[in-house]
Amino acid sequence: MRLQDRVAIITGAASGIGKATAVTFAREGARVVVADVNAELGQAVAASVGPDAMFAHLDVTDRAAVQAFVEQVVARYGRIDILVNNAGITRDAQLVRYKEGQLVGQMSEADFDLVVAINLKGVFNCTQAVAPVMIAQKSGVILNASSIVGLYGNFGQTNYVATKAGVIGMTRVWARELGRYGIRVNAVAPGFIQTEMTAKMPEKVLASMAEHTPLGRLGQPQDVANAYLWLASDEAAFIHGAVLSVDGGLVMGT
């Protein structure tokens, strides 16, 4: 019960890593707030983790909605101890794609803007809304979802990589700014994790991912949830401004 009675907000908690984190935190005694745009799946997760959990339909790009959501959580629980900024999407495409000397495709501006709005500005919106609550408490933990691609880049992911690298930068800034208030800020950088997102990929691609991972397998959502649990707990009381890779030793190539 490492998170006994602590109030934890997890964005993007309706599936994948977010769902595994919600279940894990609840099992360790936390009062979990499941935040997601998918109401059906999100409500199911909240119901599954116990009567003290709540679901909130949340679009992290909507600053007014985020602020109202944070106020709702404080009104119900009286505090916020943990924020896991997990919500994120991909919209992959090459910057420019050429075939036989001709431009045949490129990443659209709309896809670039959407990924930045959710993966980067969404993290900013949620953290900026929650930080004053934690400052008043003189305690709190903020955990941000980066990615191994934020460290090493990845083919066809200009938008996604930009956001995940940006999350690392924001994590380090907030560690400097918020540490004085007793708030710890860290990031997790998963490698290739077997989620609903990767389930859509061809078997050949998944096999290649596993082959490039020294442990010889894709990660599971629980692997990342366990990292979040440790960072959120008192066992990581002196871990601050860190980026924890959960990647099976993956070495990125081109």
CA dihedral 243, 244, 250, 254 (to 10 degrees): -20
- CA distance to 53, 159, 176, per residue, from 127 (Å): 21, 21, 14
Q: Is 152 a catalytic residue?
A: no
Length of the chain: 254
Tell me which residue has tokens 């964005």: 11
In the set 77, 98, 152, 160, the catalytic residue is 160
Q: CA–CA separation, 231 vs 1, rounded Å?
A: 14
CA atoms in the 13 A half-sphere facing the CB of 153: 7
Q: Are 42 and 55 a contacting pair, CB within 8 Å?
A: yes
* Both tokens assigned to 196: 């609903």
Q: Are 221 and 20 a contacting pair, CB within 8 Å?
A: yes
* Both tokens assigned to 65: 């909605």
Q: Which residues pair with 185 in a beta bridge?
A: 142
Q: Are 186 and 239 a contacting pair, CB within 8 Å?
A: yes
Q: Which of 64, 70, 112, 87 is nearest to 17 (CA)?
A: 87
Indicate the burial class of 195 (C-beta count within 10 angstroms; 0-12, 13-18, 19 or more). buried
Residues catalogued as catalytic: 160
